[in-house]
Amino acid sequence: MATPHPLALPDPTDRDDLRRLLRARRRELTAADRRTASLALARIASRARLLRPGAKIAVYHAYGHEADLSTLISLARQRGCRLYLPRIVDRRRNRMEFFRFDEHSLLRRNPFGILEPVSAASPPVRTRELDLVFMPLVAFDPAGWRLGSGAGYYDRRLHHLHVERRWRRPKLIGVAYDFQRVSRLTPHRWDIPMDAVLTERGLQLI
């Protein structure tokens, strides 16, 4: 995969500048780069035994040049995983839920242009019942802190992990390109640390 042109990163505490510059780096990737990375993400997840038969796994549809999980999703289905996809249920309060996602699910683009389930034949899954949540991100650091898009959907949906650290479930795995790594992020009080980060170069456990 080609390396994007080098950009000088700002102070990691400046979240808006980090978002702007790292999104610009992602846009530099070619379609071939993204396909190569997508294959690598699936291969690494498989080798790490993350895609076990019967596992309940939340995934996402890449948007805005995010790291693409399409190959991983196909492989997870072949392995017999039960997949779930986020859907915005209250835009005013920035709330989302995870709904069952299979090859027959009807999808539409939400107001942000992200594909999500049109409707659900069953209620949303309780987040405590999920085994893994693959999360998109803009930047991450070695301590497992994640910089998202800024709306806080994942932090709100996974808030129970703030108070249930003994029974930490689901496991949170950020998905990114390796160049989205920064030296340090200063978390907000509502941020939830990830358990691992999956990039095209490997799986980093926190």
In DSSP notation, 32-101 reads: HHHHHHHHHHHHHHHHTT-S-TT-EEE-----TTPPP-HHHHHHHHHTTPEEEEEEEEETTTTEEEEEE-
Question: What's the pLDDT tens digit per position in 168-178?
Answer: 679 999 999 99
- Rg (Cα) of the chain, in Å, rounded? 16
> Can you read off the two tokens belonging to residue 6?
């080098």
pLDDT at 163 over 80: no
Q: H or E element: which one contains 134?
A: strand 132-136
Q: H or E element: which one contains 24?
A: helix 15-28
Sequence spans of domains, the chain: 34-205
- The reported pLDDT for the residue numbered 168 is 67
Q: What CATH topology corresponds to 34-205?
A: Rossmann fold (3.40.50)
Q: Which of 147, 151, 150, 154 is nearest to 185 (CA)?
A: 147
For the chain, what is the mean pLDDT?
89
Highest mean pLDDT among 70-79, 109-118, 167-176: 70-79
Quote the CA–CA distance of 197 and 111 in Å, as a whole number: 28
- The reported pLDDT for the residue numbered 120 is 65
Question: What's the pLDDT tens digit per position in 4-55?
Answer: 544 445 555 578 889 999 999 999 999 999 999 999 999 999 999 999 999 9
Quote the CA–CA distance of 57 and 85 in Å, as a whole number: 9
